[in-house]
Amino acid sequence: MVTNVSCTVSNCYFWAQDNICSADNILITADKVAGAHSTMALGQESWDNLVEKIGETPSPSMAETACYTFKPR
């Protein structure tokens, strides 16, 4: 299991010194799915329910993926 996740999105609530993501859980999904669920807040739903609702999200490239954990600072 990876314990350090690098992140350069400095306006995210979870962004920490040295470009580290400080979130306890991280969800990455395909852009098309993130767009369809963009109004859903992680605090409103458990991780398990959210992952089950989204399901598998194959993506043809790295450029078409999104960090669903983002929360504006």
Is 72 part of any domain? no
Distance CA(56)–CA(59), nearest Å, equals: 10
**Counted domains in the chain:** 1
At residue 67, does pLDDT exceed 60? yes
pLDDT at 7: 93
Is 17 part of any domain? no
pLDDT at 28: 85
Distance CA(67)–CA(58), nearest Å, equals: 14
pLDDT at 56: 86
pTM: 0.69
pLDDT at 37: 65
What is the span of the domain harbouring residue 30? 25-67
